[in-house]
Chains A and B, each alone.
Chain A
Amino acid sequence: MATSTDARTGLARYGHEFKTFLSETWLGYALILPAVLLMGVIIIYPTFRGIQLAFFEASLLNPGQMTFVGLENFAEMLSDATFKSALWHTVLLTAVAVTLQYLLGLALALVLKEKVPGASVFRSLSMITWVLPVIVMVIIFRFMLQSGFGPVNIVMAKLGLETAAWFGRPGVAFPLVVLMHVWRNVPFYAIALMAAMKSIPETQYEAARLDGAGPLERFRYITLPQISYVSMIMIVLHVIFTFNNFDIVFLSTGGGPLGNTEVMATYIYKTAFQQYALGYGASMGVVMLLIMMAFTVVYVKLEARD
């Protein structure tokens, strides 16, 4: 008798818990539904359509008319010199820009974490380059480097050096694009790395100091390992960001002069929206996606092993 009542309350309790579980689950799904719907319709669905498009030939002028061509678009890339140089520029830009950003960001982080008066003001001020719209940054750089009375040319002329339309120079335009990437993002690295450094307990440094470790050793064995997670996040984020970036190149050089700064994003944009070759553009987009996925997986695996 007593056991059966126990069983019933037990069952009732489970029933109640099951009901709250259901209602909670239902509410959990309901709360996330708007985000999932928006992401699904506006991002996920177009992504799959984009991947599908890579195997078709289609024109922007008549996008309903699609012809299946299998891997033809991918084969076309192998003989497309512009594609190859755009891919090379993208990889080079990403490697050089992210390396410089990280090193300069690390240096800035090290001085900004020093307890000197005014450091917090500099912390905030430095972030301004990162907040600016890309178009404003581009206008600033183009103004500084313009062919006529640009400040850079005025200084060069005063020093008796050569003046030029710098953005139109084949050997100079690409470094300028790198410079803009670096200029824009160094502060973001610096603030993130500085925050990570500040969260390292001071006692660890004290202990190392007592053991006779100098500042360089302390940096190598205490600071570096403990900012490695934030470093990884910053590097992965910026590799993806730089690799996919469109507007810095498009707005400043448009890919020129003579294709010297053409990157994947601008080449795809032109292929799809100016030459109307949707399928070919999409197939190059798929290549970009694959490279980024491979990079992220390998990098995160390597980092996890350390």
Chain B
Amino acid sequence: MATETQSTATDRTFAQRLDAWLDEDMSIRRAMAVYAIIGVFMLFLLLPVAYMILATFTSAEFLYSPRLIPALSDLTLANYQAILSTGLFQQYFVNSMVIATATTLLTLTVGTLAGYSLSRFEYPGRQGILFTFLGTQMLPLVLILIPFFLLMFSLNLVDSYVGIIIAHSVGGIPLGTWLLKGYFDDIPESLDEAAKMDGCNHLDILARIIVPLSLPGIAVAGFYTFILSWNDFLLVSILSQTAATRTLPFGLQLFQSQNTVAWELLLTAATVTMVPVVLLFALVQRWVVEGLASGGMKGA
């Protein structure tokens, strides 16, 4: 009897058995399997980040020892005190913050106007403009870089905030405009019509109806732009020539390419660099995930 059941069990192909197992409703076993797979992914994705953060709270003696887990006596805040009181680091942080904030504001302003135009107006060339914007995302940045640098040089924008802000904004405008257009398209035009009846002109409609109703979309577009600017290395490495305009990624690169790396300080500087974007992500993550589901991925 027992051997018979066993033989029928092995007779089923692997696919059939997998099928039967997958078909179970949410059982404890299935939930545990799901958690196990999620756990493996989280270990893969988060362990390196978590270990870096742990390492920033330990002393150099621990990091330069063959131990993996710090003892309580290894823990210290000295690295943060050292990094946060370094003049250059403060300067880079301020540069990054000013540039990323200004880039976000500029991109959102330009992108909102452009997205509104693409969403609500009919005119020749509208589709062409949208496709050209999106098409620029395909361009190899290194191809543009050479003439771009010469252009910025002739405009006297090398090594200035303004030059970097403009460069980053141009990187953010295509995606920002496209996202915002998607969100604006979701707002029924009957609202525009009703507002027109009440004597609103187009700019009133934009300011009083479209923008307030698409705040999640604006938050997501702003977030994308902010991280694009905050994380950029290539453009800054070309445009920034002195510490006065150097941002954190460029500063970290100079720091990590020194001959002897002080890991405890480098890791701490890296951790402080990622804090603003992670915080910002925590604020908007719900909308980012939703946006990927609806506005962002619906297509033009």
Contacts and interface: CB of A to CB of B under 8 A. Distances in A.
A140 interface: yes
Contacts of A46: 144, 146-148, 151
Interface in B156-177: 166-167, 169-170, 173-174, 177
A5 interface: no
B293 A133 contact: no
Contacts of A148: 64
The binding surface of chain B is classed by DSSP as helix
A49 interface: yes
A299 to B, nearest CB: 12
Given A114-B34, A123-B289, A285-B140, A63 B121 contact: no
Contact of B122 (A28, A43, A49, A247): A28
B111 interface: yes
B42 A240 contact: no
Contacts of B138: 240, 289, 292-293, 296
A282 B167 CA distance: 19
Given A131-B281, A135-B253, A244-B140, A151 B34 contact: no
A45 B136 CA distance: 11
B132 A44 contact: yes
Contacts of B297: 192, 195-196, 230, 233
Interface residues of A, number: 101
The binding surface of chain A is classed by DSSP as helix
Interface in B7-57: 15-16, 18-20, 22-23, 26, 31, 34-35, 37-38, 41-42, 44-46, 48-49, 51-52, 55
A125 B285 CA distance: 10
Interface residues of B, number: 100
Interface string B246-285: 0011001100100001010011001101100110011001
Contacts of B139: 43, 47, 244, 289
A195 B292 contact: yes
**Residue of B116, B129, B142, B249 most packed against chain A (CB within 10 A):** B142
Interface stretch (B78-86, B211-219, B228-236): B228-236
B68 interface: yes
A214 B23 contact: yes
Contacts of B63: 149
B101 interface: no
Contact of A38 (B110, B263, B278): B110
Contact of A47 (B144, B173, B256): B144
A91 interface: no
B293 A229 contact: no
B150 interface: yes
Nearest to B37: A111
A116 B233 contact: no
A135 B55 contact: no
Given A42-B166, A195-B292, A32 B143 contact: no
B199 interface: no
A134 B249 contact: yes
Given A233-B297, A246-B234, A107 B143 contact: no
A111 B49 contact: no
Given A151-B68, A183-B44, A296-B138, A139 B150 contact: no
B270 A127 contact: no
Contacts of A53: 146-147
A147 B255 CA distance: 18
Contacts of A183: 44-45, 48
Interface string A230-268: 100100000010011011001100000000000011001
Interface of B: 15-16, 18-20, 22-23, 26, 31, 34-35, 37-38, 41-42, 44-46, 48-49, 51-52, 55, 63-68, 109-111, 113-114, 116-118, 120-123, 126, 129, 132-133, 136-148, 150-151, 166-167, 169-170, 173-174, 177, 202, 227, 230-231, 233-234, 238, 248-249, 252-253, 256, 261, 263, 266-267, 270-271, 273-274, 277-278, 281-282, 285, 288-290, 292-294, 297, 299
Interface of A: 24-25, 27-29, 31-32, 34-36, 38-39, 41-47, 49-51, 53, 60, 63, 104, 107-108, 111-112, 114-116, 119, 122-129, 131-136, 138-144, 146, 148-149, 151, 154-155, 157, 183, 186-187, 191-192, 195-196, 198-199, 214-217, 229-230, 233, 240, 243-244, 246-247, 250-251, 264-265, 268-269, 272-273, 278, 281-282, 285-286, 288-289, 292-293, 296
